[in-house]
Structure 1
């Protein structure tokens, strides 16, 4: 926003006034006046192409003892479009009083400096005119990558810093950067006002879930006056697997059936064969048809596993009665040093024994044993 006080008489040195005939122009040029343009204000200070703005002109009565009557005021331009109507029958201004007149304009012209003519008519041919410069510059804000990791790994958080600069000659407002990428947080960074030649930095965190090429799209939005503008930025990235992450593997898996049930006890070791710590490690049975985790070990909390470290675990599971072989999913969950969550699933095979029954039935071997014992007892009694 720009405001200027003009210490000048009401007679302008410019020749020619748009929209007036030759005789009228001579009258405007030669007439001295007791009213003058005391200042003007252009908002926004610098317009972009197709921007809508305002020009506010301050008209002042320079008389110290008498009032003057203001008949009308007009704003004229060959290049910039004046959207608002002229003022008519404005009224009287007392001694030393001022009046603000606001006109709405639109920059429909190429970049450059344009001079608008303000014409004010008073009583007794007290007419004044003045040229008001309006600048049109369509330069947008700039956005680029300030800092990004050289290597970006799957599942690991990468910090991306974007630099936003204002190469314009005026302050812009409501500056923000937004993204629709689901693996980028936050989704929006609000900067607010950005002064001329000022630069600010916005930070985002990207946690990729897949390898390969990725393109992150960002939108920079801002306001010039009441006009919205935007510019886009695309950041190409390549995601690979980290060679320095935790790597958890299972060894020594044993499956022990629980007598008289369809339940099994799963034991084994979980090892960290990677180069980074694995935190909050949890072992649990995955979801699958006919598989049900049981107490007391539905899940097993291991905790911290340092590189080359291991821990034992135990899980209890019940399987369905259909089929003789079951594929059991074992889920490993953990976090890295930055708190990123990871999950992997290993499968083991369980072979159901023919003698395994539900808890309401006796095993076949037990029934045979009882029959043999009964026969022996009966034989002994008969021998007696």
Structure 2
């Protein structure tokens, strides 16, 4: 006899569904904090210095550490979770890095006496940023190598514990480490709208090789943009070696004048895979240049005749990218009497100013002259010249004679009419 399988009860199906959902929720509760902690940005000790390098027992010294952010961009974070009651699962979108908030930094002596070693509520550190902290220590009475630890507590992220080797009159050498120094060659000045080159030289002044070196070039302003790559990779840099990077940038024509910073972030590792980060700043001097020219020439009256005065107005414009200061204009070689110099003061880029010369014409003809414009900008004093002509027309006496004749005729007619009326009376 064949038995039919028993039908599943609705209650049993419901219990299995609830149990599945419960297990998924437990997984969510376990994974969400782990994911958030893994994605939250923290800091690293990118460099340290012990001064003096070798302490005598009982001597005082300092430990300076450089903390650097691990974030690459300052954006918000998000976590998306999806529950699938059929198979169960958790979907997460990785959290975008943001600023790391440093709550406190302590120095745990580990045998070294810490004189000052506590920093509280330091605040946020953003992507690409770093700053130093200094602790005062006193060496113990016994010789040897000690390893005090720097403890960094970061809000909502994994903390950092980093040992710093301190040599107290020990014959044993400390662990060798690399030390990169950045030299930069920049132009003395850059005009807005021009391209320029920067040379970066990375030198390893340490006693160990630096490996897995990545260099990121980040212009802090949209006025400067790199023409070539922003990221560079150097597999290894032995002690005493150097690597040269040639960078090319472009500037906007409306770039603000002044010192524009370009950040260079260098990440590398030592032989023991310890991570280091350095942030160097390249200051680009944006210095504008004034360019002077003639916008228009006008005379009053518009038709110049011999023997009449004339006002010559020449509008001088600045077509450059910086202020033109102490602007003066003078006309030379013009054989007409009058004022031949004008002071305009400061003319900003895109603006113009009038230079007015009052002259007295004596005879008709074509009179060549030279306009000289003197001005100063951030590059020094400049002068520009342009040859012009002033045309004086012949004085026309016919209209004056006609007017005089007309006046005389009117006078004669008036006298004749008056005399006739008197005679009738």
TM over 0.5: no
TM-score of the two chains, using structure 1 as the length reference: 0.33
Which structure has greater helix proportion? 2
Q: TM-score, normalised by structure 2?
A: 0.30
More strand per residue: 1
